[in-house]
Amino acid sequence: MQGSVEDIEIDLLLEAIYQFYHYDFRHYARASIKRRLLQARDRMGFSSFSAMQEKLLHDPAMLPGLLNYLTVQVSEMFRDPSYFRALREKVVPHLKTYPSLKLWVAGCSNGEELYSLAILLREEGLNRRAMIYATDINPDALQAAEAGVYPLDQIRKFTENHQKSGARSSLSDYYTADYGRAVFDKRLRERVVFSDHSLVTDAVFAEMHLISCRNVLIYFDRELQDRAIGLFHESLARKGFLGLGSKESLRFSGQAAGFSDFVREEKIYQRRDLS
């Protein structure tokens, strides 16, 4: 089928963003990226994607704003509590057998998932031996993750989720309330490294024991998903764990053979080595 003018313009815009700024959205799931680009176009007041492209190529100051449309920063702490419960009950006992641990939260957004894991590790007595790598491509999100400050009105939901995850402490032990915001204890990020890393264009990390990458792969097309999953396979230690979002799975992936189901309902996999 021949693409509409709008679709051609979107292809060209994504190509321009890639060539000039090295952010590669060309193989993101199209329907959703198109929706978000339409939103950006209308709210930024452009009459067409071509007009938007012209401005973008000549005014780098426009990029961060556009990135906030192209990437989706929607998250919560202990999102899908049963996932965190499964980590706690099924994965932690294995993690306890290692003297030192490396964990990777890929696509950490504003840090909600990262702090959830950090709190879980503390509750399970693993925080001192664990390093966590928190990565994302959106600089604003990384900054927010590093700050660890959330609107107080989200805390009720976060607390409820935390409790359902099998909490051994109270969420309020980890933040102080301040002018309508919850400021999370900076000790939670003592052993966290934040960095800009793209699952599309960047290379492997070394020897991770657990990679948690939730609700990032759904934004990719098949080909990109396979690349990212290959990257995870290479970045995991032998028998390392990979956790995905509740609607993501390795079932249709070309990389499925490299993993076995560990907690199937929670999309937690374990690296398998064919030797």
Ligand X SMILES: C[S@@+](CC[C@H](N)C(=O)[O-])C[C@H]1O[C@@H](n2cnc3c(N)ncnc32)[C@H](O)[C@@H]1O
Give me the residues that bind ligand X (CB under 6 A), please.
Answer: 71-75, 79, 106-107, 109, 112-113, 136-138, 141, 198-200, 214-216, 219, 245
Cβ atoms of 108 and 197 within 8 Å: the answer is: no
Question: In angstroms, what is the minimal distance from the CB of 51 to ligand X?
Answer: 25
Decide if residue 245 touches another protein (CB under 8 A).
yes
Identify which of 61, 62, 60, 66 has the alpha carbon closest to the alpha carbon of residue 10.
66
Cβ atoms of 189 and 148 within 8 Å: the answer is: yes
Which among another protein, ligand X, none contacts residue 1 (Cβ within 5 to 8 A by kind)?
Answer: another protein
Between 101 and 105, name the residue whose CB sits nearer to ligand X.
105
How many whole angstroms separate alpha carbon 100 and alpha carbon 120? 16
Between 106 and 192, name the residue whose CB sits nearer to ligand X.
106
Cβ atoms of 112 and 75 within 8 Å: the answer is: yes
Between 121 and 217, name the residue whose CB sits nearer to another protein.
217
Binding map of another protein across residues 74-93, x = CB under 8 A, - = no contact: x-------------------
Residue with tokens 């292809």: 11
**Rg (the chain; Cα; Å):** 20
Decide if residue 36 touches another protein (CB under 8 A).
yes
Tokens of 161: 């989720």
Query: Alpha helix locations (H) across 87-216?
Result: 92-95, 112-123, 139-147, 155-164
Which among ligand X, another protein, none contacts residue 113 (Cβ within 5 to 8 A by kind)?
Answer: ligand X
Which among ligand X, another protein, none contacts residue 109 (Cβ within 5 to 8 A by kind)?
Answer: ligand X
Identify which of 167, 171, 201 has the alpha carbon closest to the alpha carbon of residue 185.
171
Question: Among 40, 67, 72, 188, which residue interacts with another protein (rule: CB under 8 A)?
Answer: 72
Which among ligand X, another protein, none contacts residue 71 (Cβ within 5 to 8 A by kind)?
Answer: ligand X
Which among another protein, ligand X, none contacts residue 200 (Cβ within 5 to 8 A by kind)?
Answer: ligand X
Between 31 and 203, name the residue whose CB sits nearer to another protein.
31
Query: Alpha helix locations (H) across 71-111?
Result: 81-86, 92-95
Interior angle at CA 180, CA 175 and CA 183, nearest 5: 25
Residues that bind another protein (CB under 8 A): 1, 29-32, 34-36, 72, 74, 215, 218-219, 222, 245, 247-249, 252
